[in-house]
Structure 1
Amino acid sequence: MGIDVTAERVIPLPCERVASYAMDWRHDAEWTQGIRTAELTRQADGGGFGVGAEVTRTAYFLGKRIAYVLRVADYEPPRLLDMVSVAGPMPMHVTYTFTPTSDESTVARIRVRGDPSGLYGLAAPLMGRKVRSSLVKDLRDLERRLSGA
């Protein structure tokens, strides 16, 4: 049984501002639940951050420390950041999308898909709920950090 969870929030700020902050791996630990560190461990093919770049994150999830590496599969700022895990406790796919609204706000959406196995597989229903809760908090924290609230 896989996990496929999406959360979204309308953030009353311009899309470019929201996306540029959220897509910058250097901010991951500031607004993403459980992440303690994030490090660019492989640059994109053309250098810097982009398709092919890899970010190594250390986090705590369900009380356990985990490390995983996400490779950028698609990068179209300020609209899309799509990443797939290449190392970690389970195969995972993380997609951030940012859509401008007519009133200069942004619909920020995060989708996480995963295929837990072993002990994680047994906890898939719990993991799905925990991931959704974390994503809701992530988007709330993203808005708070950007609006200075």
Structure 2
Amino acid sequence: MAIDVTVRRVIPLPPERVAWYAMDWRHDTEWTQGIRTAELTRPAAGGGFGVGAEVTRTASFLGRRIDYVLRVAAHEPPGLLDMVSVVAPMPMRVTYTFTDHPRGTLAAIRVRGGPRGLLARLAGPLLSRQVRSSLGKDLRDLELRLGERAGGV
């Protein structure tokens, strides 16, 4: 596996509040780096968003357009959202976790996957740095966005 990156940030709000916003695909473009569009293209078996649902995203990464589909593998609000790519230029798994912390919520995003073989050995370190930077900005923007929403209520 080329990359396995986890980034964490304490957000001074309860996990339910952070997860409610972060787990809603309709907010992906507001706080996730590079996401241009996000659309629920397959609902969960019981309807809506949950295990089995698929979200199609169009993103920009390293100056390239990337279209991919993530299928929800686990959805346990407010603690866990785990998604795996079913259509993507390379395999990936994205896991969001939200746990209690003395100062609010410990939010974490883990991304695993990427190119394999020789390309992984050559591009893996650079790709890992880029993903780490992007995820750090995601969590920063998540906190900023939630702060704006709280201030406007």
Q: Secondary structure at the match of 1:73?
A: strand
Q: Gapped runs of 5+ residues in structure 2?
A: none
Aligned match of 2:111: 112
Q: Which runs of 5+ in 1 are unaligned?
A: none
Cα 1:12–1:124 change in 2 (3 A) is same
For residues 29-86 of structure 1, the C-alpha deviation after alignment (integer angstroms, 9 at most, x for no partner) is 0000000000000000111000000000000001100000000000000000000000
- 1:52 maps to 52
**Deviation of 1:119 (Å):** 8.8
1:1-149 to structure 2, matched below 5 A, reads 1-103=1-103, 105-117=104-116, 121=120, 122-148=122-148
Distance 1:6 1:102 in 2: 21
Aligned residues: 148
Q: CA deviation at 1:2?
A: 1.6
What TM-score do the two structures reach when normalised by structure 1? 0.94
Q: Could you say if the C-alpha distance between residues 36 and 25 of structure 1 is closer, same or farther in structure 2, counting changes exceeding 3 Å?
A: same
CA RMSD between the two structures: 1.5
Matched residue of 2:137: which SS? helix
How many angstroms apart in 2 are the aligned matches of 1:25 and 1:37? 10
